[in-house]
């Protein structure tokens, strides 16, 4: 049974009404107190918004870092290309000098095929008739020995062999009626150097 309420007024009452729900969120029982309890969906929306803003900030930071890194890579590549361009000639000289020393060691050890060198020069000759091949005296003995072996395939029949002290080991000069063909290590190394200088 609801409690009885007695109100004494000393004036005449025009009308009476009862408020069951307060539109301001304050009930008659707790009048004067603030209702700061937020519905769950308001908290979720606020948290989602905060996460979205945080994610957007992280994406912007990552994008800026990526742009900075790409710019640094581009500058590094440009710097590397400039260094290589400036020192291309020195690099070519150094490469050729290394190759020269390696070849010199192989020649000193006799680690080369003089027959192959001579045949390659003959193949580049403008004619195959009346050829005279100049080789180093030390290589002439090896070449004659190679010519006497039948298991080496085509030999140097019809080609005159001449010992020439002006020709270095592992080199030759082919003399033909139409011109000379030289196979000299210095010239080959020079060709390599020129190719390295022209390389991009």
What secondary structure does DSSP assign to 118-160, as a single string? Answer: HHHHHHTSS-SSS-EEEE-HHHHHHHHHHHT-GGGSS--TT-E
How far, in Å, CA of 25 to CA of 22, rounded? 6
pTM of this structure: 0.51
Architecture per CATH, domain 112-198, reads as 2-Layer Sandwich (3.30)
Residue percentage of the chain with pLDDT more than 70: 75
Residue 94 in this model has a pLDDT that exceeds 60: yes
Please, which residues bridge with residue 134 across strands?
162, 173
The kind and range of the H/E element at 84 are helix 40-86
pLDDT (0 to 100) of residue 150: 46
* Least confident window among 8-12, 86-90, 111-115, 144-148: 8-12
pLDDT band at 6 (very low <50, low <70, confident <90, very high): low
Strand pairing class (160-163; 132-135): parallel
Domain positions in the chain: 112-198
pLDDT band at 39 (very low <50, low <70, confident <90, very high): low
Residue 189: exposed, middle, or buried by beta-carbon count in 10 A (0-12, 13-18, 19+)?
middle
Higher pLDDT, 129 or 30: 129
């Amino acid at each position: 049974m609801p409690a009885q309420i007695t109100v004494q007024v000393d004036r005449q009452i025009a009308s009476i009404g009862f408020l069951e729900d307060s539109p301001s969120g304050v009930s008659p029982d707790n009048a004067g107190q603030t209702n700061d309890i937020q519905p769950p969906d308001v908290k979720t929306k606020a948290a989602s918004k905060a996460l979205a803003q945080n994610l957007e900030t992280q994406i912007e930071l990552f994008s800026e870092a990526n742009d900075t890194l790409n710019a640094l890579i581009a500058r590094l590549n440009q710097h590397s290309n400039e260094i290589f361009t400036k020192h291309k000639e020195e690099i070519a000289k150094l490469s050729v000098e290394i190759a020269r020393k390696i070849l010199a060691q192989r020649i000193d050890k006799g680690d080369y095929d003089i027959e192959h060198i001579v045949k390659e020069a003959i193949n580049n000759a403008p004619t195959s008739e009346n050829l005279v091949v100049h080789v180093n005296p030390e290589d002439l003995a090896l070449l004659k020995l190679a010519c006497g072996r039948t298991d080496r395939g085509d030999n140097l029949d019809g080609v005159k062999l001449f010992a020439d002290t002006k020709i270095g080991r592992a080199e030759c000069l082919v003399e033909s009626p139409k011109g000379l063909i030289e196979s000299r290590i210095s010239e080959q190394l020079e060709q390599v150097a020129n190719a390295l200088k022209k390389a991009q």
